[in-house]
Amino acid sequence: MAQPTGESVAEATAAIHAQPDRMATLEEIVSQARRCLPEFEHVSVSRIHSDDTLETLVAGTDLARSFDKAQSAARQGPCIEATDDDLVVVRDARHEQRWPAYISAATRLGLLSQIGVRLRSDAHGVICLNLHSTTHADIDAGSVGVAEHFGVHAGLALGHVLKEEQLNTAIGTRTIIGTAVGIMMERYGMTQAAAFNYLLRQSSTENRKIRLVASEVVGAVEDAAHPSRPKPT
């Protein structure tokens, strides 16, 4: 199999890092994996949940999604195994003895070889890259090395965008809470501490996040300031 140069993997890494958000990053990971490892025609990125079910986040082809569904139904397979082992290789799936339920379903779909690569964890599970081939039964050491190298850099890029999302969410939460506290201080003559404690009590009593309680306070003021116009009859 022809192997990509280090330069092409570096270009792929740069393209992944250039994406603006989580979904664009995931889509670029799938696209660049397909470019760097063309022998794997069916690529997906999936999240493995604690019960070993698999959720497809992005799939490059319908067949890649079908392979993911087969792993999820069997609750076994290379991607699920990669949550512990980082990288799992299947050479000639027709003779694979591991994960019999998955392999039986996958070979019926045409699977010949596969690599599962752990990218990183998030709050909902472990995110893995799935590389499936229906044309190559063998996987040489060069392809395994490229997949491992690619997975490290893709995982770093994904981690960066996830941290950025968390930071933006935290900033947004602080902003909306601060706005709600300011409204309550102005309207009801409350101190800053009293207004914040009120939001905390409401959050606890109603078993809702404080951000949602604060959003309702702000939303009520905005609705009062900009009442909806009556619909024309």
Starting at the earlier edge strand, list the strands of the sheet with 87-90.
54-59, 42-48, 125-133, 113-122, 87-90
Give CA–CA dist 16/30, Å, rounded.
10
Can you name the CATH fold of 167-224? Answer: Arc Repressor Mutant, subunit A (1.10.10)
User: Which residue has 């799936």 as its token pair?
Assistant: 93
Can you name the CATH fold of 6-158? Answer: Beta-Lactamase (3.30.450)
In this predicted structure, what is the pLDDT of residue 219?
Answer: 86
User: Which residue has 């999604």 as its token pair?
Assistant: 65
**Local confidence pLDDT in tens for the 233 residues of the chain:** 545 555 578 888 899 988 888 899 999 999 999 999 999 999 999 999 999 999 999 999 999 999 999 999 999 999 999 888 889 999 999 999 999 999 999 999 999 999 999 998 887 889 999 999 999 999 999 999 999 999 999 998 888 887 777 666 667 778 888 888 889 888 888 888 888 888 888 888 888 888 888 888 888 887 776 655 443 33
E strand residue ranges, the chain = 42-48, 54-59, 87-90, 113-122, 125-133
List the end-to-end C-alpha distance of the chain, in Å, as a whole number: 70
In this predicted structure, what is the pLDDT of residue 158?
Answer: 87
**Is pTM, for the whole model, over 0.85?**
no
List the domain boundaries for the chain. 6-158, 167-224
